[in-house]
Amino acid sequence: MIPGLGPVRLRALLASLGTPEAILIAGRNALASVEGIGSETASAIANWQQTVDLPAELDRIATFGAHVITWDAPEYPVALRTIDNPPFILYVWGQLQAADSRAISVVGSRNVTHYGTECAKKLSYQFAYAGYTVVSGLARGIDTSAHQGALAAKGRTIAVIGSGLSKLYPPENKGLAEKIAESGAVVSEYPMMRPADRQTFPYRNRIVAGWGDALVVVEAGMNSGALITANQAIDHGRTVFAVPGPIDRPTSAGSNRLIQQGAKLIVGAEDVLDELEQCFSFAGKKRTPNIPQQGELPIITPPKLSHEETLLLTALEVGELSLDELCSATRLPTYKVSSTLLGLELKRLAKPLPGQRYILAGK
């Protein structure tokens, strides 16, 4: 919350002065003598009580229903300890679990095709079905589809955002974020009221890149931020996978180039899961057998359909409907309709059509 003070400078200060308390009570000269801390930052730290309203921030955290964990907390993600410049604190909306150490990060472009959306949903469904936590960034496009797929599998998913929790971006994903927080967590390293900007997104990408045992790029153009995340994952020592796309589509140019440069081509979830099982041994935690391949969707026959599933199937009996029409017919929020539709698709009860339209399977 102090201007000019981030993880790099904080690490230098802690190495020199020992504790956060010692930093906050140190004089300007002592602070400025630390390598990388200039006079301007030293003054900002020395006068922190004039610029930082700590009681108000603590109240915002409590009111929002979030909590903060520090680097030395037991629930701090183990994988993040191994990356360059790990965050010292994390604002958490929801709950982190030890199981989140088995994670796969899924990223891609905000501007996506139907092909990319479906790949992200199905792969993430399969990863979650296999017991892995799906990590992504809650952005429009591939990130949104990745979270939806994991939720449809009733698995865990973590959203790492590039803003404070009270300034969630994009705003239309607020409902999705609420759903994620119910069974997983929305995470940020920024103060509650920090808005997103061009610097916060690339910076948060290092967390997405480092949290998972592997990074999957589903669909990305040549200028996509997902390529930055892929490079960061390589720097962190993570394996990078990419979904191939049509060679004449700009939306797949970046992911295809990653494959050219050595990323592992993925044609199904098993490509990633088999690689991870070869690299890591999880005692007492075996992967769920018979994970469906891409294009070989699981047939799930529950004792009865959920209320939302029944509403959607009833609405679709009149014929194909758009996502907006289904929302109007069922009076369900968009995020709920999207996640429920994915579940129905994977149960082979409904199928998607171009233009975000849906129809009952078999029609």
In the structure, what pLDDT confidence band is assigned to residue 342 with cuts at 50, 70 and 90? confident
Identify the CATH number of the domain defined by range 307-360: 1.10.10.10
Q: Which two tokens stand for residue 100?
A: 């989140």
Could you report the per-residue pLDDT of 196-241, keeping only the tens digit for each?
A: 988 888 889 999 999 999 999 999 999 888 998 998 998 888 999 9
pTM, two decimal places:
0.76
Average predicted confidence (pLDDT) for the chain: 88
CATH architecture for the domain at 1-52: Orthogonal Bundle (1.10)
Higher pLDDT, 345 or 358: 358
pLDDT per residue as tens digits for the range 120-156: 999 999 999 999 999 999 999 999 999 999 999 999 9
**41: which 2 tokens?**
């930052």
What tokens does 96 get?
Answer: 């982190």
* pLDDT tens track for 245-271: 999 899 999 999 999 988 999 988 999
Q: What are phi and psi of 133, to 5 degrees?
A: -80, 130
pLDDT at 301: 39
The per-residue b/e assignment along 209-218, b for 16 or more CB within 10 angstroms, e otherwise, is: bbbbbbbbbb
Higher pLDDT, 60 or 341: 60
H/E run at residue 157: strand 157-160
Q: Between vectors from CA 271 to CA 265 and to CA 273, what angle results, nearest 5°?
A: 140
Domain definitions of the chain by residue range: 1-52, 79-84+90-279, 307-360
Provide the pLDDT confidence category of residue 184 given band limits of 50, 70 and 90. very high
**For the chain, what is the total number of helices (H) and then of strands (E)?**
16, 12
Domain 79-84+90-279 classification at class level: alpha beta
Across the range 79-97, mean pLDDT stands at 92
Could you give the CA distance from residue 175 to residue 121 in angstroms, rounded to a whole number?
Answer: 17
What distances in angstroms separate CA 297 from CA 145, 272, 293, 301, 356, one per listed residue?
Answer: 17, 17, 7, 13, 20
CB 105 within 8 A of CB 208: yes
What Cα–Cα distance (Å) separates residue 192 from each residue in 65, 189, 195, 242? 12, 9, 9, 34
Two tokens at 19?
């504790």
| CA nearest to 152, candidates 327, 1, 298 | 298
Q: Which amino acid is at 128?
A: A
CA dist., res. 166 & res. 149, Å (int): 25
Model confidence at 71, pLDDT cuts 50, 70, 90, reads confident
Among 96-105, 159-168, 347-356, where is mean pLDDT lowest? 347-356
pLDDT of residue 361: 82
The secondary structure of residue 195, as a DSSP letter, is P
Instruction: Identify the pLDDT of residue 223.
Output: 86
Q: How far is CA 21 from the centre of its chain?
A: 32
Tokens standing for residue 3: 């201007």
* 319, 359 contact by CB (below 8 A): yes
Q: What is the mean pLDDT of residues 303-322?
A: 85
Q: What's the alpha-carbon Rg for the chain, to the nearest Å? A: 22
Q: How confident is the model at residue 363 (pLDDT cuts 50, 70, 90)?
A: low
How would residue 354 be classed by pLDDT, with cut points 50, 70 and 90? Answer: confident
- Examine the pLDDT at 290 and tell me if it is beyond 80: no
